[in-house]
Structure 1
Amino acid sequence: MRKSVKISVLLVAFLCFANKAKSQTSQTFEDIGHLLNDAILFSDQYITPATDAAVYQAASGWMTSPKKRKLWDVTLGLHSNVFFVPKRDRSFEIKNSDFSFFQIEGATSATVPTALGNDSQVYLVGDLDGEQIRLKSPEGIDQETVFYPYLQGSVGLWFGTEALVKYSTKTKLKKGDYQVYGFGLKHNFSQYFKVLEAKKINLAGLVVYSKEDISFDFISIPTQYGSLGINRLNGLVDTWQFQVNGSKEFKNFELMAGIIANTSKFKYVVGGDKGEIEDVIPLQEILNKKLEEIYKTKTNVIGEISGRYQIKKVYLQSVVGFGKFVNTNFSVQYEF
């Protein structure tokens, strides 16, 4: 939706609000608009580091081996993923000059946590129709590492192709939740080069589609019109991933390295229980329309190294993905 259309939607909503609250001044409606703009600005800086990190968490460990699989061979693995939160993405600075409605209580600037940060908070204050609005800034997850388990399975298809599926249940974080699922296709290239197969060198390509959903407790704003109901903020990520891996087998051990390129589309929505203000103005709908202004598309290039050890039909594997962030993955797999 174009910006002009968004503004029209907002104005129509305000007019509806005006019909039900005729005693309120045009300044009240203007203040609500400023409040929403401040919420958008804060949301962007607060959640973007977490959605960037979610891409790395979902990228690693998809290719357990570039070896060619036999038709209908099945592998099932339990994976544990550990993401290391970098210090640079745990906080950001806000200034009074950034806002059109809120001001920082007792200060002109402050450092506040991102969704990946600690639990420190500052108070933001504003005036809505003569009533002071006072709220705490949202907390971060306050974790130096983020752990989540997931299941991954694969089945061998025709012509050296393999289908893969990944699924995690919703993992509870401090002040939030994380979930990822997706599917992919791998194709072995070394089957076309007998010299590589003779030296136990494997080469394969992979294409993957995955969805990540990361959500956090956001802000609750009580007003004389009731709660504004924007206490949950979700980052929704759709990722297409392309990957090439090579490996060398040494008896029961396989050493792998790969390069990953992925493109992700980021969307943001507020949710949770709707506030009383929804009786007179569809605030969540308006805010979600405005959040379209900060939708993003990003491309990442990620390196990956891995080691896989075979014990009969059981495989132990560790993976490290690196680039802007560092992500690690350990799994136990069984080949049927």
Structure 2
Amino acid sequence: MKRIILLLALVSFSSGMAQSNINDLLAAGLNDAERFTTAWLVPVTEAGVYSISNGWYNSADAKPLGGFEISIVGNLTGFKNKDDKKSFTLNTADYENLQFLDGSTSKEVATALGDIEGIDVAIVATIEGQQVNTQFELPSGLASEDLNFVPSGYIQASVGLIKGTEVKARFLPKIDTDDVKIGLYGFGIQHDFTKHLPADKLLPVAISAVIGYTKLSGEYDFSDTGVIAGENQRLDAQFSSWNFSAVVSTRLPVINFYGGLNYITGKSETDILGRYEVQTIGAPIVYTDPFNISNNVSGVSGNIGTKLKLGFFRLNADYNLAQFNTFTFGINFGFR
């Protein structure tokens, strides 16, 4: 369970704390550890980028000068049917020292989204001149805890300016515990082109362009786990994304419908930091800040949603179709 909450902490705002045994892979040597960790981690970083990219709009009708809205936004990015993202084939021929305990040469193993458990590996090799002899279980993923989505959430504020322009900001106040540090911020702008038309107030629809940038930072300390000794062992992750959207919506007094076509581009950077001591028959093998994993993400998405306006109080929900589909919901409080 500990390694599962680590994933949630890095791409969402989970209240649980946990640890992962991905540092155990360093017993197989630096190259094997980086190869496995990259294949294991990349799918969840992709889902994380898509998750934080959503929720930038709930209408194409930009707020007038002085109009504002404060929202609590949540995203659930699903991967239940993404079998290609939940596992990968580990072929021991691609690794220098990693071997399956049962002697197999190739197996499907879990990614950080998967649910394959009980896969034991053994390291019996000479690494950097030292004899390493150990075994451990490969990490599984979110689905092994019956979690088939990556959540994210934040507070978002929008303020109307002149000439159909609206500015936006989102943030998650920094959470800092013994094991996990995480925070999020972002900014955006929306421009309503229909505000420039002479018959603006008579048109039944609004058409806007929206640009939004989001950055999530997370750090997790896993110094007390696994077969690898050391100190200050931690995982530092940075997720960033840009969302470029064309949006259309109705302009009715109470209930409205909106939809958008979006282009998402983002990047994740994950640093494995700290001091790691691999126990051997002789002197320990020491790694300091062993490696970095970088992943670029881009894709097109489309969404459709509805918004209910009851005076100062508003509710909205939409569904986004993309590489990872996302359900977004918002509780909004606004004026004008």
TM-score norm. by structure 2 comes to 0.77
Aligned to 1:35: 29
Residue 96 of structure 2 aligns to which amino acid in structure 1?
S
Deviations 1:98-135 (A, max 9, x none): 21121111122222221112261422222242330322
The question of whether the paired residues in 2 share the 8 Å contact of 1:60 and 1:304 is answered with no
The Cα of 1:145 is off from its aligned counterpart by 2.5
Q: Which one has a bigger Cα radius of gyration?
A: 1
Structure 2 residue matching 1:295: 3-state secondary structure: strand
Report % sequence identity: 23
Structure 2 residue matching 1:159: 3-state secondary structure: coil
The Cα of 1:284 is off from its aligned counterpart by 3.2
Considering Cα pairs closer than 8 Å and 6+ residues apart, tell me whether 1 or 2 has the greater RCO: 2
Deviations 1:70-116 (A, max 9, x none): 22222111122222123322222212112112111112222222111
Residue 262 of structure 1 aligns to which amino acid in structure 2?
I
Comparing both structures, which one devotes a greater share of its residues to helix?
1
Aligned to 2:75: 81
What 5-or-longer segments of structure 2 have no aligned partner? 1-25
Comparing both structures, which one devotes a greater share of its residues to strand?
2
Q: 1:258 to 1:195 in 2, by over 3 A?
A: same
State yes or no: 1:202 paired with 2:210. no
Deviations 1:186-232 (A, max 9, x none): 11111122345412311111111111346778896636xxx266965
Residue 113 (structure 1) aligned to one of 100, 104, 110:
110
Which of 301-310 and 135-144 deviates more? 135-144
State yes or no: 1:274 paired with 2:279. no
State yes or no: 1:158 paired with 2:162. yes
The Cα of 1:266 is off from its aligned counterpart by 2.5
State yes or no: 1:243 paired with 2:245. yes
The question of whether the paired residues in 2 share the 8 Å contact of 1:79 and 1:151 is answered with yes
The question of whether the paired residues in 2 share the 8 Å contact of 1:307 and 1:319 is answered with yes
CA distance in 1, matches of 2:236, 2:321: 25
Aligned to 1:212: 216
CA distance in 1, matches of 2:288, 2:325: 35
Q: 1:229 to 1:135 in 2, by over 3 A?
A: farther
CA distance in 2, matches of 1:265, 1:145: 20
C-alpha RMSD of the superposition: 3.2
Structure 1 residue matching 2:42: 3-state secondary structure: helix
The question of whether the paired residues in 2 share the 8 Å contact of 1:230 and 1:274 is answered with yes
CA distance in 2, matches of 1:212, 1:131: 37
Structure 1 residue matching 2:309: 3-state secondary structure: strand
Residue 58 (structure 2) aligned to one of 51, 58, 64:
64
Q: 1:177 to 1:41 in 2, by over 3 A?
A: farther
CA distance in 2, matches of 1:77, 1:69: 14
Q: 1:169 to 1:108 in 2, by over 3 A?
A: farther
Q: 1:211 to 1:186 in 2, by over 3 A?
A: same
The question of whether the paired residues in 2 share the 8 Å contact of 1:148 and 1:171 is answered with no
TM-score norm. by structure 1 comes to 0.77
Q: 1:171 to 1:259 in 2, by over 3 A?
A: farther
Aligned to 1:24: none
CA distance in 1, matches of 2:227, 2:189: 49
Structure 2 residue matching 1:300: 3-state secondary structure: strand
Structure 2 residue matching 1:67: 3-state secondary structure: coil
Aligned to 2:140: 139
Q: 1:213 to 1:113 in 2, by over 3 A?
A: farther
Residue 299 of structure 1 aligns to which amino acid in structure 2?
S
Residue 181 (structure 1) aligned to one of 154, 178, 185:
185
Q: 1:328 to 1:169 in 2, by over 3 A?
A: farther
Aligned to 1:312: 311
What 5-or-longer segments of structure 1 have no aligned partner? 1-31
CA distance in 2, matches of 1:92, 1:53: 16
Residue 188 of structure 1 aligns to which amino acid in structure 2?
D
